[in-house]
Structures are given as structure tokens and as C-alpha cells.
Amino acid sequence: MTDINNAIQQLSKTGFLNIDIDPTLDLFEEIEKLKKEKNAIILAHYYQEPDIQDIADFIGDSLGLAQAAVKTQADIIVFAGVHFMAETAKILNPAKKVLLPDLNAGCSLSDSAPPALFKVFKERHPDHLVISYINCSAGIKALSDIICTSSNAQKIVESLPATQPIIFAPDRNLGAYINKQTGINMVLWNGACMVHEIFSLEKITKLKIRHPQAKIIAHPECESSLLAIADFIGSTTALLKFSEKDPAQEFIVVTETGILHQMQKNSPTKTFIPAPPDNNCACNDCPHMKLNTLEKLYLCMKYELPEIIMDETLRIQAKKPIDKMLEISARYGL
Ligand code: 13P
Ligand code: SF4
């Protein structure tokens, strides 16, 4: 059996390639070679492991990654992130090959909104517009009017008439935060991110007592009790930029730990303390994001597998609300 047939057969069982790699290979060099040979670009989210962030051509939050996916001239997009992100890149780039190193890299937030149940929920609110956070499946996107990310959610909501009834899905925490910021009352789908819901208010408060000068910076996917004690709230890119510009020397970072790599790189003299989870696990690491490894990234580029394949009708339906988001974001210079 040829190598490629072997790989395809294995993928159907595992969702990723697990082929022996010559241990003497310098994977950074090999990946750089593959990028050039194949005209491929690596887009990585901040929650990826440091090695992957270091080899990526672009690192960003969900909005930045979607915008980079629209702009790229590459033939192959290698998405170092989770499935909904790679799927979004494919929705925007039907003619390009979009690869995800491990197809199992899902998202608890996306899983919390099954399209069949959401359709029933939506039918109960016929006069409502649906704004969905980008952390959802193509099936949910297809049922939505506008997509948003944590970078642009508030602006998108504020761009609509104040009297417009809205359903916000799937993240109840981000939805509640936007309700509070805008004073409106969107109907919220009851979904959440397993990572951002695990932080311990008690442990973070104790950390703050030990580090009184530290600023608490948090992602809006966190629960409201945590957001209430934060000095700054924003998307991963916004948190990163804040940590660079703010004069504080210490930060308690209430989001997935992967972002600390860029924070420390960009501000080497500052101290970044990862916010602890409410038990002794490493649950402030996203288990889905961390399924991608440098080895899987290399194999995925070498064999051009696994690839994101989509139903064309679904792709077209899911694209409309993403285009709307990109258009509103451009209007506000986001
Ligand atoms: P952003 O990077 O867009 O802030 O999203 C965070 C997240 O949880 C991605 O899965
Ligand atoms: Fe999903 Fe949360 Fe992981 Fe982001 S951090 S991919 S929202 S589970």
C-alpha cells in the first residue's frame, strides 16, 4: 500500500495522522520547506502550543484569523486551531485546501449548540434576529443572521436598532456581558466554554491579595462574577495589546494559558500569572486546542491531510452571516 493510502485509511479511524517521523528531522526546517513548496500558510490561534505559534505565519484571535483567511493568496491554509475555525476558513475559501492537523480538535462551546435544537429555539422567537458567536458549527452559522467574535460583538449589537429583538448564541457569558455593556436584553442560548468556566474566583482573589499591583485581565467567555473583578475585559488580541500598552508590570491572565507565550514574548520584563482553575487539573489549557502538535502539523502539511470538506449548500448558507460580520467590522475599522 502506498504511503498516502495508508494515511487516508488511518485518518478514518483516528482523525489525525500518526506516522513515524524520522527523529533526526528538524521539524521547524521541514515545515518551512513545505510552506514554500506548497504555497501554504499557517494560521494559528493564540491558544496553540508555543512551537506552533512560533512557526505560524499569522497568529490571531478569531476575528483576525477569519480576516487573514480572506486575504491570503496561499493555495493551502493550514489551520492550527479548532474545527470551527478551520471550517470558517473553508467557508470563506471554497477553492483552497484547508487542513486541520487533528480533526478531533472540537470546542465545548460549539458543541453546546446542536443545530437541530437551536432551530426549534429560533422558531419560538420568530421576530428575533440571530447573532451567533463564531465558536459554533456551520449548521448554527447557517441559522444565524450575523456572526460575531469577542472583538466585535458589542459593535455588531450596537449597529442594530435598539428595538430589534435578538437571540445571542451559543455563549451565555459573552451574551450576558454584551447585555450589560449595551443595556439591551438579548435572549441567550445556554452554552459555555469549559475552559473559561473553570476559573476559581476564590483562588484569583487570593492571588490578587498576594500581588496587589497586578491587573486582572479576563476574556468575556468567563462568568460574570469573574468579569466583575477584572481591570480589563477583551478578546485574546485585546488582552495581548492591553498587556503591552498598560504600565502595570504584573498581570493575572484569566483566559487559556496559550496566550501567555505571546504576552511574555512581547513584554519580556513583565510578569504574567495564569489564573488558576477551581481544582488541581490543568483545565485552564483547552484540551481541544492542545490536540494539535508540531508533529501532527508537519504530517498534515506533508500528506495534505486531514482536510476540511464541506457540503456546498451548507457552506453558502453559513457564509452569509460571516460576510455580514466582516462587512460591519470593516465599517468600524475592526
Ligand atoms: P478569541 O481569540 O476570538 O478571543 O476567542 C477565544 C476562544 O475561546 C477561541 O476559542
Ligand atoms: Fe472552545 Fe473554549 Fe477551547 Fe475556545 S477555549 S476552543 S471556546 S473549548
Ligand 1 atom with least separation from CA of 63:
3
Question: What is the tens place of the pLDDT at every residue in 242-283?
Answer: 999 999 999 999 999 999 999 999 999 999 999 999 888 888
Distance 6 CA to ligand 1 centre (A): 35
Query: Is the CB of residue 216 below 6 angstroms from any atom belonging to ligand 2?
Result: no
Ligand 1, residues at Cβ distance < 6 Å = 61-62, 135, 149-150, 193, 219, 221, 235-236
Question: Which set of grid coordinates corresponds to residue 291?
Answer: 490536540
Nearest CA to ligand 2 atom 1: 107
Q: Is 9 helix (H, G, I), strand (E, B) or coil?
A: helix
Distance 132 CA to ligand 1 centre (A): 14
Question: What is the tens place of the pLDDT at every residue in 68-108?
Answer: 999 999 999 999 999 999 999 999 999 999 999 999 999 99
Q: State the chain's mean pLDDT as an integer.
A: 96
Distance 7 CA to ligand 1 centre (A): 31
Check: CB of residue 90 under 8 Å from CB of residue 316.
no
Query: Is the CB of residue 107 below 6 angstroms from any atom belonging to ligand 2?
Result: yes
Check: CB of residue 271 under 8 Å from CB of residue 257.
no
Q: In CATH, what number does 2-107+289-309 get?
A: 3.40.50.10800
Band (pLDDT 50/70/90 cuts) for residue 1 is very low
Q: How far is CA 296 from CA 57, 104, 208, in A?
A: 17, 12, 38
Question: What is the tens place of the pLDDT at every residue in 152-205?
Answer: 999 999 999 999 999 999 999 999 999 999 999 999 999 999 999 999 999 999
Burial class (CB in 10 A: 0-12, 13-18, 19+), 201: middle
Ligand 2 atom with least separation from CA of 286:
3
Distance 47 CA to ligand 1 centre (A): 8
One fold for both 2-107+289-309 and 109-192+315-332?
yes
- Tell me 268's DSSP state: T
Q: In CATH, what number does 199-274 get?
A: 3.40.50.10800
Which single residue is written with the C-alpha cell 483545565?
283
Please name the helix (run of DSSP H) or strand (run of DSSP E) that holds residue 172, with its range, or none. helix 172-182
Distance 129 CA to ligand 1 centre (A): 23
Check: CB of residue 227 under 8 Å from CB of residue 204.
no
C-alpha to C-alpha distance for 102 and 117, rounded to whole angstroms: 27
Question: What is the tens place of the pLDDT at every residue in 272-316?
Answer: 999 999 888 888 999 999 999 999 999 999 999 999 999 999 999
Stated pTM of the model: 0.96
Q: Where are the domains of the chain?
A: 2-107+289-309, 109-192+315-332, 199-274
Q: What share of the chain is helix, strand, coil (3-state, %, to 5)?
A: 45, 15, 40
Query: Is the CB of residue 195 below 6 angstroms from any atom belonging to ligand 2?
Result: yes
Nearest CA to ligand 1 atom 9: 62
Q: Among 41, 82, 33, 81, which residue's Cα sits nearest to residue 58?
A: 41
Nearest CA to ligand 2 atom 5: 286
Query: 109-192+315-332, what's its fold?
Result: Rossmann fold (3.40.50)
Question: Which set of grid coordinates corresponds to residue 139?
Answer: 449548521
Query: Is the CB of residue 109 below 6 angstroms from any atom belonging to ligand 2?
Result: yes
Q: How many CB atoms lie within 10 A of CB 293?
A: 18
Q: How many CB atoms lie within 10 A of CB 105?
A: 26
Query: Is the CB of residue 222 below 6 angstroms from any atom belonging to ligand 2?
Result: no
Question: What is the tens place of the pLDDT at every residue in 132-151?
Answer: 999 999 999 999 999 999 99
Q: Is the dihedral of CA 308, 91, 186, 222 positive or negative?
A: positive
Name every residue whose Cβ is closer than 8 Å to that of residue 160 and which is 6 or more positions away in sequence: 129, 166
